Amino acid sequence: MATTATPAQAPSAPRPLTRAGRERPIGGFELWAWLFMRVSGLVLLFLAVGHVLIMHVVDEGVDRVDFAFVQLRWQSVFWRTWDWMMLTLALLHGINGLRNVVMDHVPRIGLRVALNLTFAVLGFALFVLGSVVVFTFDPNAWPPSA
Amino acid sequence: MARKRSDYGTLYRGREGQWAWLAHRVTGVAVILFLIAHVVDTAVVGWGPEAYDRVMAVYHNPIVRLLELGLVAAVLYHGLNGLRITIIDLWPATTRYWRALSYATVGLFVAAMVPITWIMGPGILRLL
């Protein structure tokens, strides 16, 4: 990552034994982003891995997922809450992950800003679209067992 | 910090950690790219059963189903390896066990992917 406590050079240099662990941002926004990735990652390990196992692996997997399935599923506030939390955390986690990739691999500052801005705008647009769908979908607007 | 041109594109000569890092990055990018498409395809549910079921019909294809298995693997690896990173970062004393934790991550991942492939495999083969 771009902002780290110690430079990445000199891999053979001995590290101080008193402070174990990996490099970490010194402070400010990057430290909060670093912490967010870990905390949201723990929550997503539950939400996203659970979602993937439920929707794609168990009980016929994606073969059973159709409109009627979503219609029934989103009768439940529990699943809507799950899906909206997952949407929000996964987009923030993923777009910030892309920002880290861009910072590591794109040396040109103009291209770097352009890419990060594109991802941020895209992420926000997807957050709005996904939120509208999760909150406004009306399971009763269509006849059941469609 | 500025890096020279020659710093890019060099092959890592590290050990387990470098491969774990590379796999974490590749699976992370794969999952966010899928997520971008997935938010849009789920949004189609607002247009009713005909439109949504037409979107879901893309899964009726063996290559898409193979990619689906890859997605499950990517999410699972990224999650398990992320857990390892989080444990080491938030509890630095565990750094001395990083290699054991690395093997545990891969072991858990493989142990989970065997039954998952067993369960999802027939769905792929049926469409061939």
| B2 pLDDT more than 80 | no
Phi and psi based region of residue B4 (left: phi greater than 0; alpha: psi -120 to 50; beta: remaining): beta
Sorted by sequence, the CB contacts under 8 Å of residue A123 that are 6+ apart come out as A91, A92, A94, A95
Which pLDDT tens digit goes with each residue over A20-66? Answer: 557 788 878 888 999 999 999 999 999 999 999 998 888 887 878 88
Helix axes A28-56, B62-90, angle to 10 degrees: 140
CB A47 within 8 A of CB A88: no
Q: Measured in whole angstroms, how far is the alpha carbon of residue B94 from the centre of its chain?
A: 25
Tokens of A6: 């110690």
| Distance (Å) from the alpha carbon of B22 to chain A's nearest alpha carbon | 11
CB A45 within 8 A of CB B82: yes
CB B59 within 8 A of CB A15: no
Which pLDDT tens digit goes with each residue over B14-52? Answer: 666 788 888 999 999 999 999 999 999 999 988 889 898
Q: Measured in whole angstroms, how far is the alpha carbon of residue B123 from the centre of its chain?
A: 20
Residue B128 sits at the vertex; the CA angle it makes with A58 and B71, to the nearest 5 degrees, is: 45
pLDDT at B99: 84
Helix axes B98-126, B62-90, angle to 10 degrees: 160
SS3 (DSSP) at A65: coil
Domains and CATH numbers, chain B: 17-126 (1.20.1300.10)
| Distance (Å) from the alpha carbon of B123 to chain A's nearest alpha carbon | 8
Looking at chain B, which residue has its C-alpha nearest residue A61? B120
CB A137 within 8 A of CB A74: yes
Between CA B68 and CA B74 the distance in angstroms is 10
Tokens of B121: 């495999």
ipTM above 0.85, yes or no: no
SS3 (DSSP) at A144: coil
Between CA B51 and CA B90 the distance in angstroms is 46
Half-sphere exposure of B128 (CA within 13 A, CB side): 7
SS3 (DSSP) at A77: helix
pTM value is 0.82
Contact state of B45 with A97 under an 8 Å Cβ cutoff:
no
| A2 pLDDT more than 90 | no
Identify which of A24, A58, A94 has the shortest CB distance to residue B32. A94
Domains and CATH numbers, chain A: 28-141 (1.20.1300.10)
Helix axes B16-43, A109-136, angle to 10 degrees: 50
Looking at chain A, which residue has its C-alpha nearest residue B1? A2
